[in-house]
A = this chain, B = another copy of it.
């Protein structure tokens, strides 16, 4: 059953010593610092001073807890005052907010969302962002355009996270990464079998931008696309 339909605690009995929110917060703290795989049930329980099995009084399973963590993260997305009337500004703010949130909690890239579970914060964000284009397009087109935006943001930030992680691990500065290529990229170039890949490495300018600019460049291309779709509709 969906975690959001299961009440936190029954009515009767003694006062609970902990809470879902507290457990979720602790788990996020651990995952931020040491990765999601470090947020084991035992570790989380230790963090809040509980016994390992006590967590199961609040949460049916670890997967459900991760669902709670994911929605709690959506709570960090600020959609107050959306829509403002300037759809491009609204969607830029949303995309930047999502990126910043993902970078604060990079482990979110590793969670496999089993089904859209529609937590309250997720729904709040949907209300805010779908409003941005609501005046210009149908619900169906709106959904499609938001799917494009979300797909871009998710893919771009996922790559950024893994690259940053790799750079941190190998001790190489982010700027040197593509230049030095890493042995595998050099091997690919040396093989001579992949001319398009070689041109990407050699010609693509966006690879030399810093990460903020790189994200903004791609985001602007996405918003250009959305803008083109809007003007094609309205005349």
Residues of A at the B interface (CB closer than 8 Å) are 1-2, 4-5, 109-110, 112-118, 123, 126-127, 130-131, 134, 138-141, 143-145, 147-148, 150-156, 158-159, 162-163, 165-166, 182-185, 187-188, 193-197, 199-200, 203-206, 217-218, 221-222, 224-226, 228-229, 232
CA A124 – CA B89 in complex, angstroms?
38
Q: Does the CB pair A112–B114 fall under 8 Å?
A: no
Q: Does the CB pair B143–A195 fall under 8 Å?
A: no
Q: Does the CB pair B206–A148 fall under 8 Å?
A: no
Shortest CB–CB separation between residue A188 and chain B, in angstroms? 6
Q: Does the CB pair B184–A5 fall under 8 Å?
A: yes
Shortest CB–CB separation between residue A190 and chain B, in angstroms? 12
Q: Does the CB pair B143–A147 fall under 8 Å?
A: no
- Collect the chain B residues with CB atoms within 8 Å of residue A1's CB: 183
Partner of A197, one of B123, B159, B165, B206: B123
Q: Does the CB pair A150–B140 fall under 8 Å?
A: no
Partner of A5, one of B109, B141, B187: B187
- Collect the chain B residues with CB atoms within 8 Å of residue A222's CB: 144, 148
